[in-house]
Amino acid sequence: MDTIYIKPTDDRYTVREALRHTTDTQILIVLPWDAGQGWNRSLNYDLLLREAQVRNLEVVWVIEDPQYRSLARESGFPVFHSIEAVQAHVDTHETLPSIRQQHLPKRPLRPLWAEAPRAPQPPIQRRQPLWLILVELVFFFAIVFVVGGTLLLTWPSAHIVLVPNGVIYQRVVPVSVDPTLETVDLQRGLIPSKRIGDEFESYAEVQTTGRGFSFTGHATGWVLFTNLLGQDYQVPENTIVRTTAGSYPVRYQTTVDVTVPAFGSKDAPVEALEEGPQGNVEAYQINLVEGVAGFALRVTNPYPIAGAESATVATVSEEDRDRAWDIAAQKVLVEAYNGLQSDAYLEPGEFLPRQTMVIQSVPKAAYTNLIGEESDTLGITLRLLVTGQKVKAVDVQAIAYRQLALQIPEGYSLTDTRFEYGESAEEDIGPGIFTFFVNAYGYASAQIDDEEVISMLQGKPLEEATALLEETFPLARPPEIAITPEWFPYIPFLTVRTEVEIVPGKGW
């Protein structure tokens, strides 16, 4: 048995469609309390009863509302108050109660005295008079003319691209900086600034240019000891002998132990105690033994003592220190300039003129060598507190742009600009704490009135319009005219259908 539950949104038509699409011959329709007010008419049940009879369906209703239950029962449906009651009836009788049959009325027959219906007669074709045909033709062609004229006026469109002629001009604009300002002073060419700074460090190294002498090597040679005693005398290593001539004696020491025989002589190698050429002496210049040995021995040098040399070497000079300091300071300023350009010090759109950078405090310098010290190079580690004045690029460009705008050629308009920041002024020529120059370049395009172009070309042929534009206006290149549709040979007759695009050129 197929069951249909009626919802509050259902009516007799949706239930009838459900009956038409069911595949079972036994149908149970459940109408709950909340089914709505649409089921309080007996016509609804009569319509569904007729549908069930036509399709030979066994339909049983379960209606909780007693009022609706009586309406369905009066129409001929078997009705129960619950599904359990239907199940109990089926268990008892083993079949569903049948629908009370109602005889459907037959189609009434045509009475004997009624006449047979006549076949419809075709309409009579009447010929229109000639004057009416002429009027219709005139009216038709008038409509065609109006529609065609309207299309010719409203359909075509034109897009004209013009690149006006341009000129480039330049002006060097002085811009002064005044930290006390809050806003730009266009009249006086002053811009505000803000000081920034930090400590930066750099290392520099230069070749030394000072010259000095360096003594290399100890003079060496042989001395002859003579024993004054009647027994052998042991001369230990490092025994000191020296010269006696001159104001400054030169001292030597023996380098080995030697034994001088009684009343005899013995050679011994010696070496100068001090490095340098002062140890080089001629023969027979050494004649004194220092210490206790001097009472037992005599000494001399039968041969010259030589081997020590002096050479010119590089040393640190005062000029080297100054030169190293200058190089290190320049490197520190470069490091400072690059460091102060970072986002930690500058906001977007700001820049730091190099000319504003100054050293604010006593420098901290550490040299690798002292003045006069022998060295081929001199290094310095320099730490400086460097500050500068940061400015906004838009402020600088505002002053430069104003000066460019004052020099626009007649009949032209400024369409593009370019700025290059130059060096600072060597002399105090501005009202601020310092002044630097800006190279301002302007590109001015010839002024073309688009409304004049449209009114002049209205309804003109394409070739004539192109030639007229080239003759009338200063153009950097031939005009571009695009007409839609492409086969239409004229500039549109309606000015609103023509669009003029003026593209300013660029000179760089």
Residue-wise pLDDT for 305-349, tens only, equals 988 776 777 888 889 899 999 999 899 889 998 999 888 899 998
Question: What is the predicted pLDDT for the residue at 124?
Answer: 57
Task: From the options 3.30.750, 3.90.930, 3.50.30, 3.90.660, give the CATH code of 2-93.
Answer: 3.30.750
Q: Are 199 and 361 in contact (CB under 8 A)?
A: no
pLDDT at 30 (0 to 100): 87
| Partners of 204 in beta bridges | 380
β-bridge pairing 364-367 and 358-359: unpaired
Instruction: Please identify every stretch of the chain with a pLDDT value under 50, giving residue numbers as ranges.
Output: 104
Distance CA 347, CA 349 (A): 6
Name which of 283, 282, 346, 277 is nearest 312 in CA terms. Answer: 277
Asked if residue 48 lies in contact with residue 59, where contact means CB atoms within 8 angstroms, the answer is yes
Architecture of the structural domain at 218-307:
Beta Barrel (2.40)
pLDDT at 164: 92
Angle in degrees, CA 45, 49, 51, rounded to 5: 120
Instruction: Mention every residue, 6+ apart, whose C-beta is less than 8 A from residue 120.
Output: none
Q: What is the pLDDT of residue 376?
A: 87
pTM of the model: 0.46
pLDDT tens, position by position, 102-134: 554 555 555 555 555 565 555 555 667 788 788
- Domain locations along the chain: 2-93, 154-164+448-502, 166-211+314-445, 218-307
Q: Tokens for 163?
A: 């690149």
